[in-house]
Structure 1
Amino acid sequence: VNLRFYVRRKSADTWRRGVVFIRELVPRRAIALIARACYGENYLALPMKHQIDHVDSHLKVEFSWRRGGKWESLKMSGTGEPQTIPAGSHAEFITEHYWGYTSLRSGCGEYRVEHPRWKIWNATSFEFNADIAPLYGEQFADTLNQPPRSAFIADGSPVTVQRREIL
């Protein structure tokens, strides 16, 4: 579960579309430690659980994490079969980023992320239950307490993260 924003960087031959993570929640301390040490990412290890129910054409996904003795969650539902992401869509803008960027004391880190193009279900319901200010920062509370502009569930896949380079 993460909060991110999107960037682009002009390389020698093309524009690289990338993502910068503000905070990422993960279930294991080792993952958070490696992400912080090797990539300079702001990962936070918390007790987490998830539930994915896919019965017939109905999909229900829930990710939960415990902070301060309280469970918080992100829940979505969708129906039908996963669809190819339309070119030029908001979903394509969000999912099709193959570069990660992170702030380092010595500058900016850049790493390549590899995964196949995903398919999505448009969400028919969405719930985000969290105390946003302490989790992501007071500056994001008003925005994240609003209904989302879009909501979808991606089928996802394994992801390969290449070695970080310093720009």
Structure 2
Amino acid sequence: MQPIKPQAVFLTAEWRRLIMANYEIDPKVLQPFVPFGTELDTWKERHYVSLVGFMFLDTRLKGIPIPFHKNFEEINLRFYVRYKDPELGWKRGTVFIKEIVPKAAITLVANTFYGEHYVTMPTRHRWEDASQELYVEYGWKQDQQWQHLGVKADPNPVPLKEGGEAEFITEHYWGYVRQKPDRTTEYQVEHPSWRIHNVHSYDIQCDASRLYGAPFAEAMAAEPLSVFMAEGSKVIVREGKRI
């Protein structure tokens, strides 16, 4: 059998200091967003939705850096699915409810080429490095009100625990986009296994009702099941294909 040739590289970047706040959610809320051909993925029979903030650094499209669009914040809400590839078996992936970025051009490219759900809002971040503790925060401004996702964390990252919750959350290497009721786009995201910074405390100010709707707000009104920060790495995002 001939090896399967990967799709061409669309984007390269570094994703750094990814804060992940993870909530349990009723699968009935997610079901209308599940792309055709995929099914909800679970860890210990729990369905997760994650509020994620991180930095894009040294971003390049087709190897070309775009002036004023190399470094920027992203804040997204995502959940987890899996797809049974007829040749490769089960693939674990993510689906995005909404992705916030500060530049309209980024929104246009992502929505045009991948059919994603990007929106443009003012964003900001704050990183404070100290020997005993890191402070990392990502903010976004909606309707003239700043909201944020911030953590105080151990400065020394540790490897993922095999079979643990953080491994489940971080190691989904495919993206799936619901284009139509009977059409899905799949794209691959490549990166090494990330190390994790243990979080000492967190602060989340998010108007989930206005951002994502009442069903998501209900889930996110509870305390998250976990909050951690992934160290991040260089990433490759490949071109999408229909499945």
Q: Which has the higher contact order (CA 8 A, sep 6+)?
A: 2
1:58 to 118, 125, 133: 133
Amino acid at match of 1:51: R
| Cα deviation, residue 80, structure 1 | 4.4
| Cα deviation, residue 57, structure 1 | 2.7
Q: Which residue of 1 aligns with 2:231?
A: 155
State the alpha-carbon separation in 1 of the partners of residues 142 and 76 from structure 2.
15
- Runs of 4+ in structure 1 displaced over 6 angstroms? none
| Cα deviation, residue 166, structure 1 | 0.7
Q: Which residue of 2 aligns with 1:18?
A: 93
Conservation of the 8 A alpha-carbon contact between 1:99 and 1:110 = yes
Structure 2 stretches of 5 or more lacking a match? 1-74
Q: Which residue of 1 aligns with 2:117?
A: 42
2:150 to 75, 81, 89: 75
What per-residue deviation string (whole Å, max 9, x for no partner) do you get for residues 138-158 of structure 1?
111111111110110111123
State the alpha-carbon separation in 1 of the partners of residues 127 and 216 from structure 2.
28
Conservation of the 8 A alpha-carbon contact between 1:51 and 1:63 = yes
Structure 1 stretches of 5 or more lacking a match? none
Taking only aligned residues, the RMSD between alpha carbons, in angstroms, comes to 1.1
Q: Is the partner of 1:62 in helix, strand or coil?
A: strand
Count of paired positions: 167
Amino acid at match of 1:126: Y
Question: Are 1:137 and 2:213 matched, yes or no?
Answer: yes
| Cα deviation, residue 13, structure 1 | 2.6
Q: Which residue of 2 aligns with 1:6?
A: 80
* % same residue: 42
Amino acid at match of 1:92: E
| Cα deviation, residue 123, structure 1 | 1.2
What per-residue deviation string (whole Å, max 9, x for no partner) do you get for residues 102-142 of structure 1?
01136000000011211111211111102111101111111
Conservation of the 8 A alpha-carbon contact between 2:130 and 2:155 = no
Q: Which residue of 1 aligns with 2:16?
A: none
TM-score (norm 1): 0.96
Conservation of the 8 A alpha-carbon contact between 1:24 and 1:42 = yes
Q: Is the partner of 1:83 in helix, strand or coil?
A: coil
